[in-house]
């Protein structure tokens, strides 16, 4: 899970990209980067850290130009390195910089073929660098001194033929313009918008519409699966479908957890979809326990708040904020290493005792992945005096790893893998465990856009929508992702997103 943004404007774009990246920060807290272009020169700044840590005034002054792209990243398997920070750059042809959200499931094969056939060297373990070199090679083989929009689209067409997995990318071609594209299944989100200025129309592409909102851009639409958009330096926009056999099958986990609630993804308001998740959870509670004894519903901040409020409303019970969140601790789901995650939970959340004492409490979270956080939260609720602790998940049980850009751990580290709902409840220590049904989760989203007829639901049912995964791939992924492989404090594995191209560093 990463966040990307690209802008073609009539004035300097550095501040607008900075602002956009700050509202995409939830998609990656490990590293940030920005490339701008003025004339025929690129200006690059990237490093580990949050957006406001990476970009200081001295850096912003050097990031000149009316065109630029930005990226926020999170590490998915152990320690991180600034060498993995994006955007990446190659000087041939033209000079191209690229930022990427997702994962190429055939990155290892592509890297080998590019070295043997294309004579291109990949310098990091990042599948994003692989993607950049594929784009560069496909542009170079056309041999055009001054590429046009149709040349860009032909290159993307070849990218889709060669690359497998889920991906959304934005690239900047020195002196020519900006190119963005989305995988043929539309797994990872990508949208674009425009704003009118006295100098003319400006354009932005981004992972989520909230990045458009914050900078005054009007959302135009989502990029279609397999589609590419090219905006030249003068602001002329061209779009084209560049893949065959496309389908809109967005990642269902985006709506549950990844996206901000104020975003619109594939014409679905994320906030509204989470409200519907809460309603459907309430319906399931009433089906299973019409005479429930719930006194209060308390969300695990922040993502589950919307679902919990609607659940309480439909059940006719109190909604209360029972946990205070430390805003200076990152999202524990995307922290590398089990030890660090365990330490973070107690620092991140603190219970308000009066909301728990002598009450039957229903805790609501967006999902349960490893169960580490959930078990500690249940323990906190009991320590605060709760008579009973129930636990509801707005998502179905997460039983399988994700391969399209979300760092789900190895299957054996997923608490629901090989366990029933009741067994998960026993593991986390609650008195009743209730999960959202998968069909209800799908309906919560499709009620916002009936044109969505398929989803990437792999983490829930093990069905990989791109049809590119076999048992050997999952075994390699397990070896790369399990906490034992991530190593001790002084020796960890590094990787970019969910790539299986891993190496050990001291």
pLDDT tens digits, one per residue of 141-169: 999 999 999 999 999 999 999 999 999 99
Residue 499's pLDDT is 34
178 and 294 together in one domain: no
DSSP label at 401?
Answer: -
Residues 6+ apart with CB under 8 A from 81: 48, 494, 505
Is it the case that residue 502 has pLDDT exceeding 50? Answer: no
Domain final position from 247, 272, 297: 247
Assign residue 181 a region: left if phi > 0, alpha if psi is -120 to 50, beta otherwise? beta
Confirm whether residue 302 is marked as ligand binding. Answer: no
The number of distinct structural domains making up the chain is: 2
Looking at the fold, whether 175 and 309 belong to one and the same domain comes out as: no
Looking at residue 410, what is its pLDDT? 87
Q: Is 458 a catalytic residue?
A: no
Q: What percent of the chain has pLDDT over 70?
A: 91
In a domain, 258, yes or no: no
- pLDDT computed for residue 496 by the predictor: 38
Give the C-alpha separation, 222 to 226, whole Å.
12
pLDDT at 275 over 70: yes
453 assigned binding-site residue: no
Q: What is the pLDDT of residue 344?
A: 65
What is the value of pTM for the model shown?
0.90
H helix or E strand, kind and range, residue 423: helix 421-428
Decide: residue 62, CB within 10 A, 0-12 exposed, 13-18 middle, 19+ buried. Answer: exposed
- Given the residues 2, 37, 251, 430, select the one marked as catalytic: 2
What average pLDDT does this structure show over 39-47?
95
Q: Point out the least confidently predicted range of 43-52, 78-87, 108-117, 481-490.
A: 481-490
For residues 201 and 308, membership in a common domain is answered with: no
At 73, which CATH number? 3.60.20.10
The DSSP symbol for 316 reads: T
Determine if residue 291 is labeled as part of a ligand binding site. Answer: no
Q: Which tops the pLDDT comparison, 264 or 336? A: 264
Task: Give domain status of residue 169, yes or no.
Answer: yes
- Of the candidates 149, 184, 180, 143, the residue with the CA atom closest to the CA atom of residue 163: 184
Residue 483 domain flag: no
Domain ends where: 424, 440, 461? 461
309 and 398 both lie in a single domain: yes
End of a domain among 214, 247, 280?
A: 247
Range of the domain at 423: 264-326+346-461
SS3 450: coil
Looking up residue 289, the CATH number of its domain turns out to be 3.40.50.2020
Residue among 106, 59, 12, 55 at smallest CA distance from 477: 106
Same-domain check for residues 300 and 202: no
Distance CA 470, CA 455 (A): 19
CA atoms of 142 and 147, how far apart (whole Å): 9
Q: Both 98 and 127 in a single domain? A: yes
For 448-469, what is the mean pLDDT?
95
Same domain, 281 and 225: no
- Distance, in Å, from the CA atom of 115 to the CA atom of 344, rounded to the nearest integer, reads 42
Q: Cβ(213)–Cβ(229) under 8 Å?
A: no
Residues 219 and 186 in one domain: yes
pLDDT band at 494 (very low <50, low <70, confident <90, very high): very low
pLDDT digits 0-9 by tens, 179-202: 999 999 999 999 999 999 999 999
Is residue 235 domain-shared with residue 268, that is, in the same domain?
Answer: no
Closest among 59, 58, 79, 81 to 70, alpha carbons compared: 59
Helix (H, G, I), strand (E, B) or coil at 475: helix
């Amino acid at each position: 899970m990463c966040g990307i943004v690209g802008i073609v404007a009539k004035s300097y774009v550095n501040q607008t990209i900075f602002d956009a990246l700050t509202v995409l920060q939830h998609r990656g807290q490990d590293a940030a980067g920005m490339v701008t272009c003025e004339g025929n020169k690129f200006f690059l700044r990237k490093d580990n850290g949050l957006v406001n840590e990476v970009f200081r005034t001295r850096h912003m002054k050097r990031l000149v130009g009316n065109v630029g792209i930005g990226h926020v990243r999170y590490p998915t398997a152990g320690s991180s390195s600034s060498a993995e920070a994006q955007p990446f750059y190659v000087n041939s042809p033209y000079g191209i910089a690229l930022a990427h959200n997702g994962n190429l499931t055939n990155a290892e094969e592509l890297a080998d073929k590019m070295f043997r056939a294309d004579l291109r060297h990949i310098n990091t373990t990042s599948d994003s660098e692989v993607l950049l070199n594929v784009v560069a090679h496909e542009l170079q083989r056309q041999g055009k001194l001054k590429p046009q929009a149709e040349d860009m689209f032909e290159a993307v067409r070849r990218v889709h033929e060669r690359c497998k997995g889920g991906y959304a990318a934005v690239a900047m071609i020195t002196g020519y313009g900006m190119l963005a594209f989305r995988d043929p299944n539309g797994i990872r989100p990508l949208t674009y918008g425009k704003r009118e200025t006295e100098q003319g129309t400006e354009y932005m592409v981004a992972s989520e519409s909230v990045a458009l909102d914050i900078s005054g851009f009007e959302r135009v639409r989502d990029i279609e699966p397999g589609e590419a958009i090219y905006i030249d330096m003068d602001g002329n926009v061209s779009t084209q479908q560049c893949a065959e056999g496309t389908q809109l099958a967005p990642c269902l986990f985006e709506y549950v957890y990844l996206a901000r609630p104020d975003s619109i993804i594939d014409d679905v308001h994320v906030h509204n979809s989470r409200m519907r998740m809460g309603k459907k959870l309430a319906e399931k509670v009433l089906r299973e326990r019409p005479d429930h004894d719930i006194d209060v519903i308390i969300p695990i901040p922040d993502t589950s708040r919307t679902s919990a409020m609607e659940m309480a409303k439909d059940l006719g019970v109190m909604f209360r904020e029972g946990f205070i969140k430390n805003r200076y601790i990152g999202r524990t789901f995307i922290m590398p290493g089990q030890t660090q995650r365990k330490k973070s939970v107690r620092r991140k959340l603190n219970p308000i005792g009066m909301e728990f004492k002598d009450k039957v409490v229903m805790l609501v979270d967006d999902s349960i992945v490893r169960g580490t956080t959930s078990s500690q939260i249940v323990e906190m609720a009991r320590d605060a005096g709760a008579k009973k602790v129930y636990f509801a998940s707005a998502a179905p049980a997460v039983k399988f790893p994700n391969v399209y850009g979300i760092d789900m751990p190895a299957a054996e580290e997923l608490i629901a893998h090989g366990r029933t709902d009741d067994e998960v409840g026993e593991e986390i220590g609650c008195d009743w465990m209730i999960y959202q049904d998968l069909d209800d989760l799908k309906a919560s989203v499709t009620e916002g856009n009936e044109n969505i007829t398929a989803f990437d639901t792999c983490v829930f049912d093990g069905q990989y929508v791109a049809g590119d995964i076999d048992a050997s791939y999952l075994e390699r992924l397990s070896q790369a992702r399990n906490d034992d492989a991530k190593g001790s404090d002084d020796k960890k594995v590094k990787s970019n997103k969910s790539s299986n191209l891993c190496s050990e560093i001291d």
